[in-house]
Amino acid sequence: MELLLTAGAPVKAYDLMAAFDEGGSPAKPPTVYRALEFLEAAGLVHRIAGINAFIACDGHAAVHTAAFLICDCCGSAEEFDPDTTPITAVADANSFVVTGVTLEVRGRCRWCANSDKAGDPAARAHKAA
């Protein structure tokens, strides 16, 4: 969990394995995947399927719809609170019981979008980070 919190961006499981060095050897895949499954079930972590990565939850108090703005340029992801009324209405109309929803919106973050504009030092610094 600490590795995800300090990353501040989506992290792939194998990158977590390499970063978690216990006694000179990286963590084994089953250990990391079990920990991620536990954290996801507890609502502390979200899996972003489109990029096969994990990110710490922004601190919602309960189970909620996970929605992300994902930058195709720098790989950042920002969680936001979507209006799920249309999804709920369609599910209810079809007697469908929803157990989870993850919304992934792909594009360019404000920093990468601004990097296309000549001379934007903040955008260049963001891409370098």
Instruction: Give the chain's length.
Output: 129
Fold of 2-128: Dna Ligase; domain 1 (3.30.1490)
- Phi, psi at residue 22, to the nearest 5°? -105, 105
> Do the strands 77-80 and 25-26 form a parallel or antiparallel pair, or are they unpaired?
unpaired
Over residues 6-28, the mean pLDDT reads 84
pLDDT tens digits, residue range 67-81?
A: 999 999 988 999 888
Rounded to the nearest 10 degrees, how much is the dihedral formed by the CA atoms of 38, 4, 11, 115? 150
Domain ranges across the chain: 2-128
Share of the chain above pLDDT 90, in %: 38
Q: What is the pTM (predicted TM-score) of this model?
A: 0.72
Distance between CA 70 and CA 76 in Å, rounded?
Answer: 6
